Amino acid sequence: MIWMARVLAGPILWGALFSGIYGLHGLGCGLDWPNRETPLGALHPLAMIGAWLLGLALHAALIRWNRALGDARQAMLVRAGNWIGAVASAATLFPVIATSTCG
């Protein structure tokens, strides 16, 4: 079942990232983060972009370190799981750099 955990690692990371950033978005809107300035800009987009980039870095680490295991089909599925998670995180969370936050 370690193999199964390796297959699911990428999608699970996406799930954590997606729900985490969505939660962060709601929390930031509720706490008025868009109007809190930091040296690098408003806190809200900064926090979300930071979380997204961190997540993408973790996906990159997974692709690098969560190597194939078992026979050819098992290895292919581990690789596929890694990439499914990474592409999903990149595609579904890119709005953190593209749209306004709480508007």
Partner 1 sequence: MTEDPHAIAPNPPQRALPLHRQMDRIWSDLPGWRGSVASVNHGTIGLRFMATSFLFFSIGGVLAMLIRAQLATRDGAFLDTQLYNQIFTMHGSIMMFLFAIPMLEGLAMWLLPKILGARDMAFPRLGALGYWCYLFGGIIILSSLLFGVAPDGGWFMYVPLSGKTYTPGISADVWLLGVTFVEISAMAAAVEIIVTILRLRAAGMALTRMPLMGWYMLGTAAMMLVGFPPLILGSILLELERAFDWPFFDVLRGGDPMLWQHLFWLFGHPEVYIIFLPAAGVLSTIIPVFARTRILGYGAIVAAIVGLVFLSFGLWVHHMFTVGIPHMALAFFSAASALVAVPTSVQIFAWIGTMWAGRVDLRLPMLHVIGFFATFVMGGLTGVMLAMVPFNWQAHDTHFVVAHLHYVLVGGFVFPMLAGITYWMPMISGRFRVRALGEAAFWLIFLGFHGTFFIMHLTGLLGMPRRVDRYPDNPEWEWLNLVSSIGGMVMSVGFALFVLDIAMQWLFGRRSHRNPWKAQTMDWAMALPAPSYNFASLAGAGRHDASVTLPLARGEGLLPGAPRDRREVLVTEPGTGRPDHVAVLPGNTRLPIWTAAAIGSFFLLMLAGLYWATPLAILLILWAAWQWGGFMGSRRDAEPLAVAPGLALHEHWQMRNTLAYSGTVTLLVADATLYASLLFGVAFLTVIAPNWPPPDSGLGWPVLLTGAAALLMMGLGLVASLLAEAQRAAPPGRLAALAGVAAAGLALLLLAGVAWQFDDPTRHARDALRAALLGYAGFHGVVTLMLALRSLADVRQGRTSAMRRGAAPVWQLFQAFWLGTSALSLGVVALQEIG
Whole-number Å distance between alpha carbons of 34 and 25? 10
Q: Contact between 60 and partner 1 (CB under 8 A)? A: no
What is the per-residue DSSP string for 13-54?
HHHHHHHHHHHHHHHHHHTTGGG-EETTEEHHHHHHHHHHHH
Task: Figure out which of the listed residues 25, 33, 58, 66 binds partner 1, where binding follows CB under 8 A.
Answer: 25
CA neighbours closer than 13 Å in the CB half-sphere of residue 20: 16
Stretches 22-30, 35-43, 53-61: which one binds partner 1 (CB under 8 A)? 22-30
Distance of CA 17 to the CA centre of its chain: 4
Q: Contact between 57 and partner 1 (CB under 8 A)? A: no
Q: Contact between 7 and partner 1 (CB under 8 A)? A: yes
Q: Contact between 94 and partner 1 (CB under 8 A)? A: yes
Least Å distance between CB 41 and partner 1?
15
Q: Contact between 64 and partner 1 (CB under 8 A)? A: no
Least Å distance between CB 37 and partner 1?
19
Q: Contact between 84 and partner 1 (CB under 8 A)? A: yes
Report residue 36 as tokens. Answer: 């809190």
